[in-house]
Amino acid sequence: PTQKQCAMVCVADLRWRVVEEPKGKLMQRLREAISDGRVIDAMERVPREAFVPLEYRDAAYEDTALPTTEGQTISQPFMVATMVEALEPRRSDRLLEVGTGSGYQAAVLAELVREVVTVERIESLAKSALNRLTSLGYMNVIVKVADDHIGWGKGAPYDGIVVAAAAPKLIRGLVDQLAVGGRLVIPVGGRKEQNLIKVTRSDTTYSVKTLVPCRFVPLIGQDAWPGDQS
């Protein structure tokens, strides 16, 4: 074989070992743990390696959270699958994500629903997430830089809201951004450990269900944690 052919084989082999094989294994494990197969189909279509910093690329398909810039994280794949399944996404839905981070979870949601609005507090993260999502061809994601109010009231009501950062309590202002029948999935608890909570809004009231224990970076804001201690 020529040197060029050899180089091509090596790159293909490297891609197999670093991306395809670990991705296949992770997706298989997620399929065993998550009952809604559509969620895992969507995760299979999103290249997580494109959302993690270069130095962590070989860990892109380990089932762990990974650092992004600004001391933030890209959530653990199992947690993404759990949250997205709990949202009960339907094709026609408009969803809100609070905490864009790398944009990975927004991409997974964009595979499943009509439109995703995602809001991020750190402007540089919002910008790089938008670039990434655009270059991957996601046209149905709107990225916003957060203001003082948690969520994005201007776009309300949403069929579902997912919060990718931990709140000290259930945030009434977010429940108010839900449509009737809408679902809110949010980690609630202490700074270090929380439980994933699902809220379903009905006509006059809402129901609350506790799903699984989890660990998220703090949600920063007036109704959440102060920003200067993180």
Binding site for ligand SAH (CB under 6 A): 72-75, 98-99, 101-102, 104-105, 119-122, 125, 146, 150, 164-165, 217, 219-221
* Residue 26 or 165 having the CB closest to ligand SAH: 165
Query: Among all chains, which residue has been given the structure tokens 């993690």?
Result: 52
Q: Is 75 an active-site residue?
A: yes
**H or E stretch covering 189:** strand 178-189
Residue 147, amino acid: D
- 73 or 177, CB closer to ligand SAH? 73
Least gap, CB of 23 to ligand SAH (angstroms): 16
Question: Could you write out the three-class secondary structure of 35-79?
Answer: CCHHHHHHHHHCCHHHCCCHHHHHHCCCCCCEECCCCCEECCHHH
Q: How far apart are CA 210 and CA 194, in angstroms?
A: 10
Distance of closest approach, residue 2 Cβ to ligand SAH, in angstroms: 41
Name which of 94 and 121 has its Cβ closer to ligand SAH.
Answer: 121
Residues found in the chain: 230
> Which residue, 189 or 221, is less far from ligand SAH as judged by CB?
221
State the helix-helix crossing angle for 77-86 and 21-33, rounded to 10 degrees.
40
Q: How far is the CB of 159 from ligand SAH (least distance, A)?
A: 18
Active-site residue, selected from the candidate residues 75, 128, 202, 230? 75
For residues 59 and 62, what is the distance between their CA atoms, to the nearest angstrom?
A: 5
Query: Taking the complex as a whole, how short is the minimal distance between the CB of residue 64 and ligand SAH, in angstroms?
Result: 13
How many other C-beta atoms lie within 10 A of the C-beta of residue 203?
7
The catalytic residue positions are 75
